[in-house]
Amino acid sequence: MKITSKTSNEISFDDFRAQILKDYTIAFLSRTVSLLGRKEVLTGKAKFGIFGDGKELPQLAMARSFKNGDFRSGYYRDQTFMMALGLLTPKQLFHSLYATTDIEKEPMSAGRQMGGHFVTHSLNEDGSWKDLTAQKNSSGDISCTAGQMPRLLGLAQASKVYRLLDSLNSNGFSKKGNEIAWGTIGNASTSEGMFLETINAGGVLQVPMVISIWDDEYGISVPAKYHTTGEDISKILSGFQRDKSSNGYELIKVNGWDYTALMHAYEDASDLAREEHVPVVIHVVELTQPQGHSSSGSHERYKSDERLNWERDNDCNKRFREWIIESNIASEEELLELEKNIKREVRIAKKEAWSEYLSTHKDHKKTLIQLLDSAAVNSGNRVHLTRIKNDLIAIDEPIKKDLATSSRKALRYLLGEDSQEKLALQKWVSNFLDDTQPMYSSSLYSEFPNKATNVARIKPNYTKGSQKVDGRVILRDNFDKLLNKYPEILIFGEDSGTIGDVNQGLEGLQKKYGKIRVSDTGIRETTIIGQGIGMALRGLRPIAEIQYLDYIFYALATLTDDLATLRYRTFGKQKAPLIIRTRGHRLEGIWHSGSPMGGLIHVLRGIYILSPRNMTQAAGFYNTLLKSDEPALIIESLNGYRLKEFMPDNLGEFCTPIGVVDTLKQGTDITLVSYGSTLRIVQKAAKELSDVGIEAEVIDAQTLLPFDINQDVLKSVRKTNRLLVIDEDVPGGCSAYIMQEIVEKQGAYKYLDSAPQTLSAKAHRPAYSSDGDYFSKPNAEDIFERVYAIMNEADPTNYPQLR
């Protein structure tokens, strides 16, 4: 391990001085924002504040070595870094504290994220990529500690892929793979599994990432001895240090108050990572947290007087300032003047941001007061309407909620009355809500013309000579076509490379396309997904394999916190069109169930969830997704790889539409909706029902998120007037979601002659073996009997009781 503490003497003194004063300006500016920002929370103007105080100096060093095309994947302490690169102004930071919903004013998330979550824009207004090599990039932060780590791995890996794959067009994404992915993480968060998993994977993959650990010896109130063995994370990581005989990391430890040592540490790390693609950890120690963790409480509660005194003396800005004066770079008076100006600048920024935040609300308030005034004049409820109006007048600094509440409550007092003024108020409320809701709800999925749900169906073509083959062969040959057609596709996962996945869906493809494009990974689901997210953020088209559906839970945090929220939390300014491939449905055993769809569809809103019944449908989904740019999870049917299907002629071309159901059997008596492998059992039961005169219509939901956007199930229920949803998830799981979609959203309740029902698996995880499956999940007899019971209730004469 290197301990760095050299002094820079490579540039002229004037340049050196100018650089230092510029850095001091940013450090002081950032600190002033932190101090004033916290006050905004304490006075109630902002809801929550978390700032970068105490961590300013190392971030200036990181910013100095950060180049165009580089990416940051960090956490909430990094405001100084963002300011140093011109990616964040004090005014924008105040806008983020207030949650201004205008993306121009609050470019981090248009008010969706708390302050301290940093983002740059990767996409143009029309959704197309910006030139990421011409700007400095920050992937969108999330609040979850260490959640930034898995994606960091992928951001770094993208450089490696762009450097090694000559065939790839890297325009706008990379210049020969010379970009570094810079990670930041707090000392306490290095205890998270995600951190350690990422460190190991980064060492194996040898990718250009520089991870800074901001070590202030605390995680909120909890001191290092509870977080870190031996209280020293770089000591722990020393086993990852590279040496002559093996790859690994370069580890650097540096004091967070030592300006020149920091500059050198970052220059060294940058050279090594950028040129040689060696990952580096910089452990920045002796940092402080002058205002305590966040606006939620003060640190005097948990730090000793001794520690508090030490922090005061060793505050990195204070020591930087002392060093500037001692080294005769600037005098005390010069610095005082500089500081005075900065304080004024920040106060102005704060004031302007608050007034801009309020201005549209105040305009609305004015209009609304006039409308309430007019509506009151001839109303029988004049007194009440005037009270609402006066209450609104009394709110000096209204938020949108105040406007919505008063106007909507006022309408209740106009019930039964008829006037132009009432109409005007009604119209205002509707317009206000229609305009405001998207500020909080847009961009969960793509809203651009190339969104996945706009990709049209292209049917698989068959000719007379079409052969029946194992389903996995269709998938394999389709992946072959796709790898050939899209050089930016990379497929990776456990056993995906050499053996071509555990079910041979990628057989022979590593040989054909090389070890970069079709690769094996370690057993580490979280960072497999992180690799995918990071690479997708940089223009590649990763297909990340999770070997079996039940093991996706190891990666669930990264999927739900990071991938699913990405487009939403960045207000549509970043995208990661990652495809996750896995297999499941009707497996046997507690950890091989293949069934837990309910959990997934609820926590993964923002990702499409597709459950193809066979390999042709699955291949069609891959083809569809690659024409678009949205993330999706595809769950192939494990027990379908060896079932025979006709081989289509147009591999790589045919497209299974997303959000469109398939009717597999026509019927008149009842609509049966199911998906995945359970569908085959439903089809079997439907045949047996036919034998007793019950004609069931069988519909494959096929895509769960989104479900049936053309409302075809409704058309079926209008015909059959009965509905049964069947799946292998727990009671109240995915089947309840499908039921809500059909009965409530599509309005099928109007056409039902029998109570709509669900038939799901038992509440426990499924038992092992064929009998375990039979008694855990709906079987053909269960389905037959449930349908028969519905018919018996409706028409006992023709369908007498079975048992």
Ligand X SMILES: Cc1ncc(C[n+]2csc(CCOP(=O)(O)OP(=O)(O)O)c2C)c(N)n1
Task: Report, as residue numbers or ranges, the catalytic residues.
Answer: 592
Contact of residue 794 among Mg ion, ligand X, none (CB under 5-8 Å per partner type): none
Tokens linked to 676: 């995945």
The site for Mg ion, by CB under 5 A, has a size of 5
Contact of residue 143 among Mg ion, ligand X, none (CB under 5-8 Å per partner type): ligand X
Contact of residue 123 among Mg ion, ligand X, none (CB under 5-8 Å per partner type): none
Q: Do the beta carbons of residue 704 and residue 601 sit within 8 Å?
A: yes
Please report, as a single letter, which amino acid is at residue 485.
K
Tokens linked to 298: 């003060």
Closest CA relative to residue 61, chosen from 257, 228, 196: 257
Element (H, E) at 307: helix 305-314
Min dist. Cβ of residue 404 to ligand X (A): 30
Binding to ligand X in span 5-24, by CB under 6 A: none
Q: Per rule CB under 5 A, is residue 187 in the interface with Mg ion?
A: yes
Per-residue H/E/C for 202-259 = HHHHCCCEEEEEECCCEECCEEHHHCCHHHCHHHHHHHHECECCECCEEEEEEECCCH
- Distance between CA atoms of residues 700 and 267, nearest Å: 57
Contact of residue 77 among ligand X, Mg ion, none (CB under 5-8 Å per partner type): ligand X
The residue (of 35 and 144) whose beta carbon lies closer to ligand X is: 144
- Distance between CA atoms of residues 381 and 698, nearest Å: 55
Min dist. Cβ of residue 140 to ligand X (A): 15
Min dist. Cβ of residue 314 to ligand X (A): 15
Site string for ligand X, 515-544 (x = CB under 6 A): ------------------------------
- Distance between CA atoms of residues 231 and 226, nearest Å: 8
Min dist. Cβ of residue 214 to Mg ion (A): 7
Closest CA relative to residue 616, chosen from 457, 504, 471, 500: 471
Which one of 181-189, 353-361, 649-657, 666-674 is the stretch in contact with ligand X (CB under 6 A)? Answer: 181-189
Contact of residue 145 among Mg ion, ligand X, none (CB under 5-8 Å per partner type): ligand X
Which SS3 state, helix, strand or coil, does residue 608 take?
Answer: strand
Contact of residue 258 among ligand X, Mg ion, none (CB under 5-8 Å per partner type): none
Min dist. Cβ of residue 218 to Mg ion (A): 5
Which one of 62-70, 112-120, 212-220, 555-563 is the stretch in contact with Mg ion (CB under 5 A)? Answer: 212-220
Q: In sequence order, what E strands does 501-568 have? A: 518-520, 541-546
Tokens linked to 488: 């930016």
The residue (of 218 and 707) whose beta carbon lies closer to ligand X is: 218
The residue (of 52 and 208) whose beta carbon lies closer to ligand X is: 52
- Distance between CA atoms of residues 767 and 521, nearest Å: 30
CA angle 512, 518, 520 (to 5 degrees): 130
Site string for ligand X, 219-238 (x = CB under 6 A): xx------------------
Residue with tokens 């479900």, as numbered in its chain? 707
Site string for Mg ion, 130-169 (x = CB under 5 A): ----------------------------------------
Centre a 10 Å sphere on the Cβ of residue 519 and count the other Cβ atoms it contains. 18
Which one of 184-192, 324-332, 365-373, 791-799 is the stretch in contact with Mg ion (CB under 5 A)? Answer: 184-192
Question: What are the C-alpha distances in Å from 353 to residues 36, 650, 664?
Answer: 13, 57, 58
Cβ neighbors of 754 (< 8 A, separation 6 or more) are 670, 721, 722, 723, 790, 793, 794
CA dihedral over 376, 377, 381, 387, signed as positive or negative? positive
The residue (of 559 and 655) whose beta carbon lies closer to ligand X is: 559
Q: Per rule CB under 5 A, is residue 186 in the interface with Mg ion?
A: yes
The residue (of 54 and 460) whose beta carbon lies closer to ligand X is: 54
Site string for ligand X, 345-384 (x = CB under 6 A): ----------------------------------------
Which one of 18-26, 187-195, 546-554, 626-634 is the stretch in contact with ligand X (CB under 6 A)? Answer: 187-195
Binding to ligand X in span 69-88, by CB under 6 A: 77
The residue (of 186 and 733) whose beta carbon lies closer to ligand X is: 186
Contact of residue 761 among Mg ion, ligand X, none (CB under 5-8 Å per partner type): none
Contact of residue 678 among Mg ion, ligand X, none (CB under 5-8 Å per partner type): none
Min dist. Cβ of residue 199 to ligand X (A): 15
| Residue-by-residue DSSP string for 656-709 | PPTT--EEEE--SSEEEEE-TTHHHHHHHHHHHHHHTT--EEEEE--EEES--T
Which one of 186-194, 474-482, 512-520, 759-767 is the stretch in contact with ligand X (CB under 6 A)? Answer: 186-194
Which one of 81-89, 183-191, 625-633, 641-649 is the stretch in contact with Mg ion (CB under 5 A)? Answer: 183-191
Contact of residue 144 among ligand X, Mg ion, none (CB under 5-8 Å per partner type): ligand X
The residue (of 219 and 505) whose beta carbon lies closer to Mg ion is: 219
Member of 70, 216, 561, 588 binding Mg ion (CB under 5 A): 216
Residues paired with 577 in a beta bridge: none
Contact of residue 189 among Mg ion, ligand X, none (CB under 5-8 Å per partner type): ligand X
The site for ligand X, by CB under 6 A, has a size of 14
- Distance between CA atoms of residues 161 and 535, nearest Å: 9
- Distance between CA atoms of residues 139 and 5, nearest Å: 31
Q: Per rule CB under 6 A, is residue 214 in the interface with ligand X?
A: yes
Contact of residue 136 among ligand X, Mg ion, none (CB under 5-8 Å per partner type): none
Closest CB to ligand X belongs to which residue?
A: 186
- The values of phi and psi at residue 391, to 5°, are -60, -40
Min dist. Cβ of residue 215 to ligand X (A): 8
Contact of residue 248 among ligand X, Mg ion, none (CB under 5-8 Å per partner type): none
The residue (of 49 and 640) whose beta carbon lies closer to Mg ion is: 49
Q: Per rule CB under 6 A, is residue 189 in the interface with ligand X?
A: yes
Closest CB to Mg ion belongs to which residue?
A: 186
Binding to ligand X in span 264-303, by CB under 6 A: 293
Question: What are the C-alpha distances in Å from 521 to residues 109, 294, 515, 555?
Answer: 34, 38, 11, 14
Question: What are the C-alpha distances in Å from 565 to residues 470, 559, 570?
Answer: 37, 9, 8
Min dist. Cβ of residue 228 to Mg ion (A): 10
Which one of 218-226, 241-249, 250-258, 273-281 is the stretch in contact with ligand X (CB under 6 A)? Answer: 218-226
Closest CA relative to residue 623, chosen from 502, 719, 484: 484
The residue (of 189 and 558) whose beta carbon lies closer to ligand X is: 189
Tokens linked to 505: 């869906």
- Distance between CA atoms of residues 729 and 196, nearest Å: 33
Q: In sequence order, what E strands does 106-158 have? A: 137-138
Min dist. Cβ of residue 118 to ligand X (A): 14
Exposure class string for 676-691: b at 16+ Cβ within 10 A, else e: bbbbbbbbebbebbee
- Distance between CA atoms of residues 634 and 621, nearest Å: 8
Site string for ligand X, 116-145 (x = CB under 6 A): ---------------------------xxx
Distance of alpha carbon 29 from its chain centroid, rounded? 31
Member of 66, 173, 182, 218 binding ligand X (CB under 6 A): 218
- Distance between CA atoms of residues 369 and 433, nearest Å: 17
* Contacts to Mg ion by CB under 5 A: 186-188, 216, 218
Binding site for ligand X (CB under 6 A): 77, 143-145, 186-189, 214, 216, 218-220, 293
